Structure formats: structure tokens, C-alpha cells
């Protein structure tokens, strides 16, 4: 019996979870229920959590090591913690950002993607907390990559089973209109991952695609892009997707290894959207996964298999 109250959002994908106070310390059983829920549903919506920056980070740590902005940071952050990623439209002083380059870069997040596929190490879970939301728009769309994989024709499953895709952050920015050339994309960081993988936590097969994917390894570039476009279009059909319309205090956790997401349009020059994200490194797995008491729920080998995959 789960300690959580779970309401499914679609028959096989997404759940709204209540009946738990995320601002309080949790027991190992509660942690196992929370990790089981994300493994099963792919996206978990926790409404009006009451989380602050500090408790958002504390809660996120039960999933593993957190991404930090670290030495790569080239722009100042408005946050007191290096674990928080800016997913809104505010500048370091807290006012609406008028920085045209930052706006163009953010436009890339309106394309279907999964976080950090352009890095070798990758991140599993993203935990996005709404602080302030625009009156209209600014929803987030989610897509089910296990459901989409299951529904592919067998001929397509056979075709893609052993393929790998190469991912670049700069490529999705280019697609969204950010001024960057194909040559600059090629010269930048590119990470290669399997197109189909076994999802850690459920053991189901999942597509691992994103607008960051710029080619299929070993395939002629245009042919690879056509295949990627076909898979993206297939996997984001209405039967595999839903939108979350945010209220302040909502925390949405998604599993980057079994889902994609995209930001919705909104009037970002006139309306504040204060959204802060923590992101969990894919390795090591959440501590409860390695806890012998939960061996009947989790297969640690599935999580290990994602390292360098």
C-alpha cells in the first residue's frame, strides 16, 4: 500500500500526488513510494507544496546527486543556491529580463526535449517548482516516451533498436532561431546516446529523443534528421501527451529517461514567470534504489546500465 494518494492524469502516464508533506523529513518507505511513483508514471505533479528554495533542494536530494551550476556558469544567477536552474523569465535582480539573447535561448525550451541529453553524464529527474506564474499561457507539455515506443509499428522498432543519436544544446537553440551556425554546433559539445533504452525503474523500453538530437550516428545527416523528426512527431501525438497548467507552489517531477517536455508560449516581456528547477544527476541512483529493503521494487542494475549508455 502506497503512503501516497495517486490520481492518474492519463490512463498510462502522469499522476497527481497528494497526501504527503514534502516540506517534512520523509521515511525510507515514503521515499520508496515517491521513487516508485515517478518510475511508474513518468511525471508526478505535487500541488501546492509550500516548498521554499531550501526545502526544494532538501527534498530533491533523496533522488541522488544534484546538478550544480558550477564553474561553467557564464551568467550571474539570481539564486542563493548553485543547485537551482533558471526556468523563468527573470533577471538576476528579480525583474523581468529584457535580454534578447536570453529570450532567444529560452525559445529552445519550447521545443520538445529531455533535459541534459546533450551531456555525457545526463540527468534523470527534473523537479520544477512554480513560484510565480503568468495569468495566461506558460503551461508545460509532457510526452510519454514508453507509451510512444510501445505504439510504434514493429518495423520501426526493428529499424531503430540499435541506433544512437547525437545531441547538442546548440543545435536545439539553432532550431529555435538562436543565431548560431551549423559549423559552431559541430564544433561544440555533442553527446551520443542510444535511441531506445531500458528505462531504469520500470524495465520498459523507452524512446530517448529530443530536439537536441542533430543526427543519427553513421547515417547520412538529412536521412537521420528525417527519422528523428518522424519519431518526434509520432511521440508527441495527443494520445501520448498532456499539459500541466501551473499554480504557485506546484512541484512537477519528470523522469528524463522516459518522457519529453516543452514550455508553452506566454507574454514573457509583460508577465513574470518565476520557475526554479533542481536536476538530479543520472549517477548514482537514488539511495532507496540501493536499499536492500526495497530490492523487490527496484533493480539497481537497470540504473547502473544507464552510466555511459
Nearest to 190 by CA among 217, 166, 206: 166
C-alpha to C-alpha distance for 33 and 6, rounded to whole angstroms: 11
Give the shortest CB-108-to-ligand OGA separation in angstroms: 9
Positions that interact with ligand OGA (CB under 6 A): 87, 109, 115, 126, 128, 140, 261, 263, 275, 277
Determine the 3-state secondary structure of 43 from DSSP.
strand
Smallest gap from Cβ 193 to Mn ion, in A, equals 16
The residue (of 126 and 302) whose beta carbon lies closer to ligand OGA is 126
Q: Report the partner that residue 128 touches, choosing among ligand OGA, Mn ion, none (CB closer than 5 to 8 A by kind).
A: ligand OGA
Residue 268 makes contact with Mn ion by CB under 5 A: no
CA-CA distance, 242 to 290, in Å (whole number)?
A: 32
The interface partner of residue 87, options being ligand OGA, Mn ion, none and the CB cut-off 5 to 8 Å by kind, is: ligand OGA
Residue 299 touches which of ligand OGA, Mn ion, none (CB < 5 to 8 A by kind)?
Answer: none
The Cα–Cα gap between 263 and 137 comes to 9
In the structure grid, which three cell numbers stand for residue 51, read together? 516548498
263 touches, from ligand OGA, Mn ion, none (C-beta below 5 to 8 Å by class): ligand OGA
- CA-to-CA dists, residue 105 to 58, 87, 166, 169, angstroms: 29, 11, 20, 10
Q: How far apart are CA 4 and CA 29, in angstroms?
A: 11
140 binds, among Mn ion, ligand OGA, none (CB under 5 to 8 A by kind): ligand OGA
What is the dihedral angle through the alpha carbons of 186, 174, 275, 257, rounded to the nearest 10 degrees?
A: -50
Cβ-based nearer residue to ligand OGA, 36 or 89 = 89
Among the residue ranges 25-33, 109-117, 170-178, 299-307, the one whose residues contact Mn ion (CB under 5 A): 109-117
Half-sphere exposure of 239 (CA within 13 A, CB side): 8
* 115 makes contact with Mn ion (CB under 5 A): yes
The residue whose Cβ lies closest to Mn ion is 115
CB of 111 to Mn ion, least distance (A): 10
Could you tell me which of 56, 31, 44 has the C-alpha nearest to residue 129?
56
Q: Tell me the residue nearest to ligand OGA as measured from the CB.
A: 263
Interaction site with Mn ion (CB under 5 A): 115
Amino acid at each position: 500500500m502506497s503512503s501516497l494518494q495517486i490520481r492518474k492524469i492519463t490512463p498510462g502516464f502522469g499522476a497527481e500526488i497528494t497526501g504527503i508533506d514534502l516540506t517534512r523529513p520523509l521515511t525510507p518507505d515514503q521515499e520508496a513510494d515517491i521513487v516508485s511513483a515517478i518510475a511508474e508514471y513518468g511525471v508526478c505533479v505535487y500541488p501546492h507544496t509550500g516548498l521554499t528554495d531550501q526545502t526544494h533542494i532538501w527534498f530533491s536530494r533523496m533522488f541522488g546527486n544534484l546538478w550544480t551550476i558550477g564553474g561553467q556558469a557564464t551568467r550571474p544567477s539570481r539564486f542563493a543556491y548553485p543547485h537551482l536552474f533558471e526556468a523563468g523569465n527573470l533577471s538576476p535582480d528579480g525583474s523581468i529580463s529584457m535580454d534578447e539573447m536570453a529570450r532567444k535561448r529560452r525559445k529552445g525550451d519550447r521545443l520538445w526535449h529531455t533535459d541534459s541529453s546533450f551531456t555525457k553524464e545526463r540527468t534523470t529527474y527534473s523537479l520544477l517548482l512554480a513560484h510565480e506564474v503568468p495569468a495566461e499561457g506558460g503551461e508545460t507539455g509532457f510526452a510519454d516516451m514508453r507509451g510512444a515506443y510501445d505504439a510504434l509499428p514493429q518495423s520501426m522498432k526493428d529499424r531503430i533498436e540499435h541506433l544512437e543519436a547525437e545531441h547538442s544544446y546548440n543545435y536545439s537553440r539553432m532550431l529555435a532561431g538562436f543565431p548560431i551556425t551549423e559549423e559552431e554546433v559541430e564544433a561544440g559539445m555533442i553527446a551520443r546516446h542510444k535511441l531506445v533504452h531500458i528505462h531504469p525503474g520500470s524495465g520498459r523500453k523507452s524512446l530517448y529523443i529530443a530536439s537536441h538530437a542533430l543526427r543519427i550516428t553513421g547515417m547520412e545527416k538529412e536521412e537521420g534528421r528525417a527519422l528523428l523528426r518522424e519519431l518526434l512527431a509520432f511521440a508527441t501525438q495527443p494520445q501520448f501527451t498532456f499539459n500541466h497548467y501551473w499554480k504557485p507552489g506546484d512541484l512537477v517531477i519528470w523522469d528524463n529517461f522516459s518522457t519529453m517536455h516543452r514550455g508553452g508560449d506566454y507574454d514573457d516581456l509583460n508577465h513574470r514567470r518565476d520557475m526554479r528547477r533542481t536536476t538530479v544527476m543520472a549517477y548514482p541512483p537514488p539511495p532507496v534504489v540501493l536499499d536492500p529493503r526495497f530490492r523487490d521494487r527496484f533493480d539497481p542494475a537497470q540504473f547502473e546500465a544507464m552510466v555511459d549508455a
